[in-house]
């Protein structure tokens, strides 16, 4: 016992694992939430207003370049939220922290909305650019596949009654699904070369979009990340409370019996 405690005290990640305790999580997230929400509002307002009103027309895209400020951040979040769910699932499977499993569950709806936004804005942008709303372009197709993965993940959560079983099974699905989502990405790339322009945010200087567009875009990206964190905190708090209600109801039933 001594050993474990000293080891725990020395763990440099204690600040992180404190969030894993439901009671501490509620206290910490309750304190953090107003700040995150405030920061989100400011960042998103600056980024979106700058992007919409104060960017010039691009040579190839005309003013349609303004769609980038909603398309790219949502597409990035769609992928990153899935990665976050994967990490949270792994933490749940390895360390059995309930908050982690609940956070993965809470993130899924935001992820699916981001995927839908990326698909819709992509389709609307595709019409004037490529002359069609939908093309079986590799990136669009892999987002469609990602959308299906989100749906399956959420359906599995909804279908299983026992919360711990649901957390375990969805975690396994998230891991296997990630491998297959990655495989689909390459398969789809191989299957159709596509119309989509290359990565606009690659570190490679040549490919990068010009600074005028890039600066507001970075602010929008930060705004979407903050928005996700704020929503994640709210939704995870809801899930923790639901769990608490469940526990209380069980106790009442036990007392009645």
Residues that bind other proteins (CB under 8 A): 52-53, 57, 62-64, 66-67, 70-71, 74, 109-110, 113, 116-117, 120-121, 124-125, 127-128, 145, 148-149, 151-152, 155-156, 159-160, 165, 168-169, 172-173, 175-177, 180-181, 183-184, 186-188, 190-191, 227, 231, 234-235, 237-238, 241-242, 244-245, 248-249, 251-252, 255
Is 20 or 113 the residue whose CB approaches other proteins more closely? 113
Give 159 or 210: the residue with its C-beta nearer to other proteins. Answer: 159
Burial status of residue 19 (CB atoms within 10 A of its CB: 0-12, 13-18, 19 or more): middle
Return the bridge partners of 13, or none.
Answer: none
Q: Report the C-alpha gap between 99 and 244 in whole angstroms.
A: 12
Q: Tell the smallest beta-carbon distance from residue 119 to other proteins (Å).
A: 10
Query: Which sign, positive or negative, has the C-alpha torsion 156, 158, 163, 167?
Result: positive
Contact 145, 181 (CB under 8 A): yes
- Of 124 and 225, CB closest to other proteins: 124
For tokens 């957390």, what's the residue?
167
Structure tokens at 242: 């639901």
| Cβ nearer to other proteins, comparing 16 with 172 | 172
Task: Name the residue nearer to other proteins (CB basis): 135 or 156.
Answer: 156
Q: Which is nearer to other proteins, 97 or 236 (CB)?
A: 236
Q: CB under 8 Å to 252, separation ≥6 — which residues?
A: none
CB of 182 to other proteins, least distance (A): 9
Which CB, 98 or 235, lies closer to other proteins?
235
Tell me how far, at minimum, the Cβ of 214 lies from other proteins, in Å.
Answer: 19
Q: How far is the CB of 28 from other proteins (least distance, A)?
A: 17
How far apart CA 73 and CA 219 sit, in angstroms, is 10
Size (the chain), residues? 257
Asked whether the beta carbons of 133 and 127 are under 8 A apart, the reply is yes
Per-residue tokens: 163: 């919360």
CB 1 → other proteins: shortest distance, Å?
Answer: 28
- Distance of closest approach, residue 235 Cβ to other proteins, in angstroms: 5
What is the widest separation between alpha-carbon atoms in the chain? 74
Structure tokens at 75: 């597409």
Q: Are residues 106 and 239 in contact, defined by beta-carbon separation less than 8 angstroms?
A: yes
CB of 35 to other proteins, least distance (A): 17
User: Which distant-in-sequence residues (6+ apart) come within 8 Å of 133 by Cβ?
Assistant: 123, 124, 126, 127
């Amino acid at each position: 016992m001594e050993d474990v405690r000293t080891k725990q005290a020395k763990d440099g990640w204690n600040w992180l694992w404190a969030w894993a305790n439901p009671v501490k999580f509620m206290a910490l997230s309750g304190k953090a939430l107003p700040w995150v929400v405030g920061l989100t509002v400011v960042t998103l307002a600056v980024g979106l207003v700058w992007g919409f009103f104060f960017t010039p027309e691009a040579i190839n895209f005309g003013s349609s370049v303004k769609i980038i400020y909603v398309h790219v951040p949502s597409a990035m979040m769609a992928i990153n939220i899935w990665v976050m769910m994967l990490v949270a699932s792994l933490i749940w499977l390895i360390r059995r922290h309930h908050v982690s499993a609940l956070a993965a569950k809470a993130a899924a709806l935001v992820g699916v909305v981001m995927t839908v936004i990326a698909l819709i804005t992509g389709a609307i942008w595709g019409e004037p650019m490529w002359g069609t709303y939908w093309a079986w372009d590799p990136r669009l197709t892999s987002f469609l596949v990602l959308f299906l993965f989100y749906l399956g993940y959420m359906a599995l959560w909804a279908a299983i009654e026992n919360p711990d079983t649901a957390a375990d099974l969805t975690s396994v699905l998230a891991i296997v699904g990630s491998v297959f989502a990655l495989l689909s990405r390459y398969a789809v790339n191989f299957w159709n070369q596509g119309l989509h322009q290359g990565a606009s945010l690659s570190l490679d200087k040549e490919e990068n979009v010009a600074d005028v567009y890039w600066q507001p875009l970075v602010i929008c990206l930060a705004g979407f990340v903050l928005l996700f964190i704020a929503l994640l905190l709210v939704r995870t708090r809801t899930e923790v409370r639901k769990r608490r209600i469940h526990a209380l109801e069980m106790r009442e039933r036990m007392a009645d019996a």
